Amino acid sequence: MNSNFHQPPPPITASANHPVQSLQEFLQNTEQQDRGHGFFELESPQFLEVNLNGRVNTKTGSMVAYHGNIKFTREGILDQGIGNLLKKAISGEGMRVTYADGQGKLYLADQGKKITLLRLQQESLVVNGNDVLAFETTLPHKITMMRKIAGIMSGGLFNVRFEGTGLLAITSHYEPLTLRVTPGNPIVTDPNATIAWSGNLTPDLKTDISLRTFLGRGSGESLQMMFQGDGFVVIQPFEEVYFAQAAS
């Protein structure tokens, strides 16, 4: 009979890969902190704290916690005018906005994605609707649709144009990368990995028929976005599944 059969398991000890914390240490390391950064404050790369005193526009479903007196109202289909009604109907999910009104602290997150805070100052930026987390009401937004969509109706082709002054929180899977677009040197991206681009650029939808034929099916590589002119485009090291499914 094995003499070690009834021996208790060895005690758990801390290591670099498996750190053990006391409950007090855990609370100290994870507790919310007021850093005095203003209306938008990053509690961590994945958590946005909104110090609310009035209204903020948020991505529907992004609220994870709050305290205070806050009321949530979903944006009406006509709130952005008749011009956006058809685009919202076609895009399906698109970018659905919930208004958060009141006073308190609101915590937002989106599937563990990294949050980037931007302050636009009379500038324009187009963002994939899926990557918009929150923005100030002082920042007008408008749903935009890519040209030459060739009958492809996919939520990934519908984006949101911000133009004016205000705070904007966008999300990405991992660290985003910005590529400069210069005259004569276009940038071609995978729509699944494209987060945003400067408002002065209008991407063209490009289909690589030969590659589609080679692969034997639709893919993010066979459907491409081409940016030409003078500006920038922001990409992520991840392909959004929803677009690949819609385009296949």
- Asked if residue 24 is part of any domain, the answer here is no
Spatial CA neighbour of 38 closest among 136, 164, 133, 139: 136
| The pLDDT value given to residue 90 | 42
**Inside any domain, residue 62:** yes
Q: Supply the pLDDT for residue 209.
A: 57
Report residues of the chain scoring pLDDT below 70: 1-18, 36, 76-95, 146-157, 208-221, 241-248
Dist. CA 66–CA 107, nearest whole Å? 6
Give the Cβ contact number of residue 144 at 10 Å.
Answer: 18
Q: Is the residue at 7 inside a domain?
A: no
Looking at this protein, which amino acid is placed at residue 78? L
Task: Tell whether 119 is covered by a domain.
Answer: yes
Residue 158 burial (C-beta neighbours within 10 Å; 0-12, 13-18, 19+): buried
> CA 27, CA 18: separation in Å to the nearest integer?
17
| Residue at 17 is within a domain | no
Residue 65, pLDDT score: 97
Task: Record the tokens describing residue 155, joined without a space.
Answer: 């939520």
Cα dist from 188 to 6, 179, 193, 238, 240, whole Å: 64, 10, 11, 16, 17
Number of structural domains in the chain? 1
Give pLDDT, residue 179: 96
In this structure, the chain runs to a length of 248
Asked whether residue 81 is assigned to any structural domain, the reply reads: yes
pTM over 0.85: no
Range of the domain at 224: 36-247
- Is 112 a member of any domain? yes
Q: What is the CATH number of the domain that holds 77?
A: 3.60.160.10
Q: Is residue 78 part of a domain?
A: yes
